Amino acid sequence: MNAIPRTHIHNVGAMPAGITHRPVPPIQPNGTAAQVWELPTGHDSMITMLAELSELLLKLA
């Protein structure tokens, strides 16, 4: 399981006060650099930014 590369997509808009994202370690378990992408939207990016989220996911395909 640790050999599978990971990509994190953080929704960074409209976060309530006191809420933070879980930190992403700079190195993944498989030894490669962590990949973190951000979308300027709230929790429901699949509704509010469907096209942009789809583009990010297609990059991983």
Give the domain extent around 32.
Answer: 7-60
In a domain, 27, yes or no: yes
The pLDDT, as a whole number, for residue 20 is 80
Q: What percent of the chain has pLDDT over 70?
A: 98
In a domain, 1, yes or no: no
Count the domains in the chain.
1
Mean per-residue pLDDT, 6-24:
85
The pLDDT, as a whole number, for residue 46 is 94
The pLDDT, as a whole number, for residue 13 is 86
Interatomic CA distance for residues 29 and 5, integer angstroms = 8
Checking if the pLDDT of 21 tops 90, the result is no
Rounded to 5 degrees, φ, ψ at 37 are -110, 155
In a domain, 2, yes or no: no
